[in-house]
């Protein structure tokens, strides 16, 4: 079991998220398959999804988010990073780490730990837990955790309407660095529930349809959050903001209702209607938006979800509002949007 330990020496010293500007609407995708786009959009609670350009991949998205996170840290330099961990299910290489590519571009140097992590959509939050543990142990003073994906979906599959692209980066550091938020506690809840999978050499993931909801997502997000609250003697009402993994708009809202989370707590980090599900970046991007817009003293609860299946829950307390690079806030990125046709979408995917 994971001990109910409170972190004493770990805080957020930088954060950032990058969302590609291209969007394709649910209705545009549905039109190709002669389906009712309006009813599909309503059932998913989704308007559109973010699409990576043809020259973008998980590594380039991760670099963009990491550069923004570094720019928001007042004292940190890339060479100070003791670890670079990247969670994704769309790493560019099967054998060759994304982490070393990103660290090289950032100028981290040679004296650092890196690894690529996989656990479907929760690999990025798992990276955060590992970085925090390395800092608390004294092995490193700061580290970079990234969740990034260019999500795959088989043409015509239900996933095609939601599978998006994006990256979020959190730099965690010891008290040697000014904290923007304090990391309080973490917990994890996992089981062998095969709701979503992709075997080696298969191009697209497969999923168990409706099975992905009740025994998979809802069990792990709801029960994982409840066990976190019980373990640390917390109540949902203790938190000003709550971020849940967002595979679509309906699932997190349904989970929130079961947990007693109100609309005000959910709304700041609830970005899925405009970007879709960027897999490992989903919950982390919601967290970044809360950190950009939240107020000092507010507490944040995050529960991610990864198919296969598991959830990570953790809480933070905002120490101060960061005024740096407001033009790069997610709120402003969501305004810089270019709609594309299905033909151009296929071109970006290399299929046309």
Cα angle value 299/220/16 (rounded, 5°): 45
CA distance 272 to 305: 14
Out of 245, 274, 292, 298, pick the active-site residue: 245
Task: Find out whether 32 and 208 touch, Cβ atoms under 8 Å.
Answer: no
List residues bridging with 166 in a β-sheet.
Answer: 149
Q: Is 155 helix (H, G, I), strand (E, B) or coil?
A: coil
- Quick check: is 207 catalytic? no
CA distance 309 to 267: 26
Out of 28, 89, 136, 298, pick the active-site residue: 89
Non-local (6+) Cβ contacts of 133 within 8 A are none
Q: Look at phi and psi of residue 128 and say left if phi exceeds 0, alpha if psi is from -120 to 50, else beta.
A: alpha
Nearest to 151 by CA among 349, 287, 335: 349
DSSP single-letter state for residue 227: H
Beta strands (DSSP E) in the chain are 11-18, 22-25, 48-51, 83-87, 113-117, 142-150, 165-173, 181-193, 196-197, 206-207, 241-244, 299-303, 308-318, 338-339
List residues bridging with 49 in a β-sheet.
Answer: 24
List residues bridging with 51 in a β-sheet.
Answer: 22
- Quick check: is 142 catalytic? no
CA distance 146 to 154: 25
Out of 28, 64, 121, 207, pick the active-site residue: 121
Sheet holding 83-87: strands in order across?
A: 113-117, 83-87, 142-150, 165-173, 11-18, 181-193, 308-318, 299-303, 241-244
CA distance 320 to 269: 18
- Where in the sequence numbering do the catalytic residues fall? 89, 121, 245
């Amino acid at each position: 079991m994971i001990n109910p330990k409170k972190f004493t020496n770990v805080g957020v010293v930088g954060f950032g998220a990058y969302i590609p500007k291209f969007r394709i609407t649910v209705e545009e995708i549905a039109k190709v398959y002669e389906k009712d786009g309006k009813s599909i959009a309503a059932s998913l609670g989704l308007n559109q999804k973010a699409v990576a350009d043809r020259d973008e991949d998980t590594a380039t998205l991760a670099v963009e988010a990491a550069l923004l996170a570094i720019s928001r840290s007042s004292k940190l330099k890339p060479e100070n990073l003791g670890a670079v961990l990247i969670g994704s299910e769309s790493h560019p290489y099967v054998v060759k780490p994304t982490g070393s590519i990103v660290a090289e571009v950032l100028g981290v140097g040679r004296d650092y730990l890196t690894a690529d992590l996989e656990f479907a959509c929760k690999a990025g939050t798992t990276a955060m837990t590992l970085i925090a543990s390395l800092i608390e142990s004294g092995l490193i003073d700061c580290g970079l955790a990234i969740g990034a994906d260019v999500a795959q979906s088989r043409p015509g599959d239900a996933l095609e309407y939601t599978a998006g692209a994006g990256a979020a980066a959190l730099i965690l550091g010891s008290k040697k660095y000014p904290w923007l938020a304090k990391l309080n506690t973490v917990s994890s809840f996992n089981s062998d529930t095969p709701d979503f999978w992709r075997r080696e050499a298969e191009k697209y993931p497969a999923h168990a349809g409706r099975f992905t909801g009740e025994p998979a997502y809802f069990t792990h997000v709801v029960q994982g959050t409840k066990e976190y609250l019980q373990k640390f003697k917390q109540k949902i009402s203790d938190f000003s903001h709550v971020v849940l993994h967002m595979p679509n708009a309906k699932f997190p809202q349904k989970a929130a209702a079961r947990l007693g989370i109100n609309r005000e707590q959910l709304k700041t980090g609830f970005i899925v209607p405009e970007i879709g599900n960027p897999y490992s970046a989903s919950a982390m991007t919601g967290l970044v938006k809360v950190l950009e817009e939240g107020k000092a003293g507010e507490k944040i609860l995050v529960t991610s979800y990864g198919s296969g299946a598991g959830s990570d829950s953790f809480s933070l307390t905002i120490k101060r509002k960061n005024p740096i690079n407001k033009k790069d806030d997610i709120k402003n990125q969501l305004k810089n949007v270019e709609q594309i046709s299905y033909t151009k979408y296929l071109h970006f995917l290399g299929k046309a």
